Amino acid sequence: MTSKTLSSNEIESLATRLDDAQAGVHDTLSLADDIELGIDDAYRVQEALIGRRRERGETLVGVKLGFTSKAKMAQMGVSDVIVGRLTDAMTVDDGGTVDLHRFIHPKIEPEVAYRLSRDVDLDDATVDIESCVDAVAPAMEIIDSRYRDFRFTYTDVVADNTSAAAYVIGPWQPVRSVGDLAVRLEAGGQTVDGSTAAILDDPVNALHALLDMSRRRRIPLRAGDVVLAGAATAAIPLTAGVARCDIDGLGSVTVEGI
Ligand code: OOG
């Protein structure tokens, strides 16, 4: 599908709609109900949305990937991963608490996080993204689609910063091969089991997918940035109480919803 190019005013008004939903903690309907949004325009809306957050004093601290699980790609009928941005306001400490009133209908998912040790030169065709990573950790992402009932199209979710809402990172350790490790997520009385191999067969592949997307979308990758490689299992609702993710050999991470 070709991307229809919207005017700057139209992009800004879609960003306002999503920003108001997030800041006012209320949902909104799929943008696709009102407008034909192409993928390029969807990333423009995301950029405008992040611009609003930066104007409010938030700083960019990393990136997150979505649809890195084949099941989720198939569900959405797409073959591309999606990228969203993380800001400092989304960071929650391991073992800390998170106020659920911040969210519309939060869900939590188990992830693998990487940390960039140096800036990635997106214009250097020979750059080795794996050599730009120095640490890996178990992590969880809280997603909170601004769309009613998490009902969205592929371009809707890109515009909505890929449902990013908050994240928590467990203890960092020197980067190592992750491959296929058992994952368990417990939250709100539910337990889901899975494997890190659900993330593009090996979460390291998320780094390569990220480099490709960052080049196409001109998303800077900087030293110190956190990279969330994508969910290893389906997301489950985040309710009051402790949510915990254990990844065999990588460690654990917890957060308490209050
Ligand atoms: C979109 C975000 C998906 C992932 O890891 O696949 C995502 C959503 O399901 O709301 O973060």
Q: Which atom, in ligand 1's list, is nearest to the CA of 152?
A: 10
pLDDT digits (tens, 9 = 90+) for 47-72: 999 999 999 999 999 999 999 988 77
Q: Residue 1 — very low, low, confident or very high, per pLDDT cuts 50/70/90?
A: very low
For a pocket test of ligand 1, which of 76, 82, 213 has the largest count of ligand atoms closer than 8 A to its C-beta?
82
pLDDT digits (tens, 9 = 90+) for 89-144: 999 999 999 999 999 999 999 999 999 999 999 999 999 999 999 999 999 999 99
Q: Which atom, in ligand 1's list, is nearest to the CA of 141?
A: 11
Checking 89-94 for CB contacts under 8 A at 24+ apart, the result is 89/53, 89/58, 90/61, 90/164, 90/165, 90/166, 90/167, 91/61, 91/166, 91/167, 91/168, 92/142, 92/166, 92/167, 92/168, 92/255, 93/168, 94/168, 94/169, 94/170, 94/171, 94/253, 94/254, 94/255
**How many angstroms separate the alpha carbon of residue 69 from the centre of ligand 1?**
9
Q: With a 6 A CB cut-off, is 233 part of the ligand 1 pocket?
A: no
Distances, alpha carbon 15 to alpha carbons 23, 102, 146, 155, in Å: 12, 19, 12, 13
Give me the residue label for tokens 């608490």: 97
Q: With a 6 A CB cut-off, is 147 part of the ligand 1 pocket?
A: no
pLDDT number for residue 170: 98
**How many angstroms separate the alpha carbon of residue 80 from the centre of ligand 1?**
13
Res. 212: pLDDT tops 60 = yes
pLDDT number for residue 117: 98
Asked if CATH classification 3.90.850.10 holds for the domain at 59-257, the reply, yes or no, is yes
Mean pLDDT, all residues of the chain: 95
pLDDT number for residue 198: 96
pLDDT number for residue 79: 81
Average pLDDT for 13-34: 96
**DSSP letter, residue 7:** P
Q: What's the gap between Cα 221 and its chain centre? A: 15
Average pLDDT for 82-94: 98
Q: Which atom, in ligand 1's list, is nearest to the CA of 231?
A: 5
- The residue whose CA is least distant from atom 7 of ligand 1 is 66
Q: With a 6 A CB cut-off, is 194 part of the ligand 1 pocket?
A: no
Find the helix or strand (DSSP H, E) in which 217 lies: helix 204-217
For a pocket test of ligand 1, which of 46, 64, 86, 143 has the largest count of ligand atoms closer than 8 A to its C-beta?
143
State whether ipTM is beyond 0.95. Answer: yes
Q: With a 6 A CB cut-off, is 67 part of the ligand 1 pocket?
A: yes
**How many angstroms separate the alpha carbon of residue 55 from the centre of ligand 1?**
25
Residues 6+ apart with CB under 8 A from 132: 116, 117, 118, 119, 120, 221
Q: Which atom, in ligand 1's list, is nearest to the CA of 111?
A: 5
Q: Residue 2 — very low, low, confident or very high, per pLDDT cuts 50/70/90?
A: very low
**How many angstroms separate the alpha carbon of residue 66 from the centre of ligand 1?**
5
